[in-house]
């Protein structure tokens, strides 16, 4: 662990632990972890733009957030489609004055069948959603993040949607987790918010597992399912 002798900000200053004046884009922000991240960042003072493929769901969330006093806007966008990703970032650039402080990528999908049964179209869809979209978003967001002078990018990956549908597997995973339970979305969003705050500026290039200690026992269950 290393630190500069002076960070220029007094320890304990409230500015280190808030996001007032920051702008953020959170993909997949209408449910689950993405929704928790939107609400965490907005509650800490950030202005957030999110997206969803489902217009009705997005509209409901926006109305709810407005009622809570959060500064959140949104776009209907399928991030597996390149043109729609580019349109999203153009909207963000216009809204935030060609600057962006935070990019949180929370989009992922999984086709629940053996990999030997994947069609070429299904494989392309998974790669476009899980890999290409994240990579491309970083590319096209880079000028906006650079202009802000303090850009933060956070990628979120979760296996809970597939592992935990199998109750026997869930029981085994929980049994191997020191905290004895699965995590909640708010426990993920708290870390995301911290990584975007001025107080965490010396943390970069890290993979952080928010897993209740499960990985100390190894990731995979001991029995096949």
Once rounded to an integer, what is the mean pLDDT over residues 8-27? 79
What does the pLDDT look like over 42-67, one tens digit per residue?
A: 999 999 999 999 999 999 999 999 99
Measured in degrees and rounded to the nearest 5, phi and psi for residue 25 equal -115, 130
Mapped to the 3 state alphabet, what secondary structure does 40-66 carry?
HHHHCCCEEEEEECCHHHHHHHHHHHH
- The alpha carbon of 26 is separated from its chain's Cα centroid by a whole number of angstroms, namely 6
Listing from the earlier edge strand, what are the strands of the sheet with 72-76?
A: 72-76, 47-52, 23-26, 102-105, 152-155
3-state SS assignment for residue 127: helix
Give pLDDT, residue 220. 61
19 vs 220, more confident: 19
Domain boundaries, the chain: 23-158
What's the pTM value of the predicted model, to 2 decimals?
0.88
Q: Which listed CATH number (3.40.50.720, 3.60.15.10, 3.40.50.300, 3.40.50.10860) goes with 23-158? A: 3.40.50.720
CA distance 145 to 167: 42
């Amino acid at each position: 662990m290393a630190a500069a002798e002076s960070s220029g900000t007094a320890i304990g200053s409230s500015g280190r632990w808030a996001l007032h004046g920051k702008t953020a884009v959170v993909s997949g922000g209408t449910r689950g972890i993405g929704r928790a991240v939107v609400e965490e960042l907005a509650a800490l003072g950030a202005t957030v733009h999110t997206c969803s493929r489902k217009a009705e769901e997005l509209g409901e969330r926006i109305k709810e957030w407005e009622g809570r006093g959060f500064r959140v806007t949104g776009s209907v966008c399928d991030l597996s489609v390149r043109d729609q990703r580019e349109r999203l970032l153009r909207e963000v650039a216009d809204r935030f004055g060609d600057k962006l402080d935070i990019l949180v990528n929370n989009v992922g999908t999984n086709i629940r069948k053996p990999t030997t049964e994947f069609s070429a179209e299904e494989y392309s869809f998974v790669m476009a959603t899980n890999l290409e979209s994240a990579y491309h978003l970083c590319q096209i967001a880079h000028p906006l993040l650079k202009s802000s002078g303090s850009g933060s990018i956070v990628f979120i990956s979760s296996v809970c949607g597939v592992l935990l549908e199998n109750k026997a597997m869930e029981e085994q995973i929980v049994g191997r987790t020191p905290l004895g339970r699965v995590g909640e979305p708010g426990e993920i969003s708290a870390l995301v918010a911290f990584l975007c705050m001025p107080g965490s500026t010396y943390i970069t290039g890290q993979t952080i597992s928010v897993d209740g200690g499960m990985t100390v026992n190894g990731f995979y269950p001991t029995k096949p399912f």
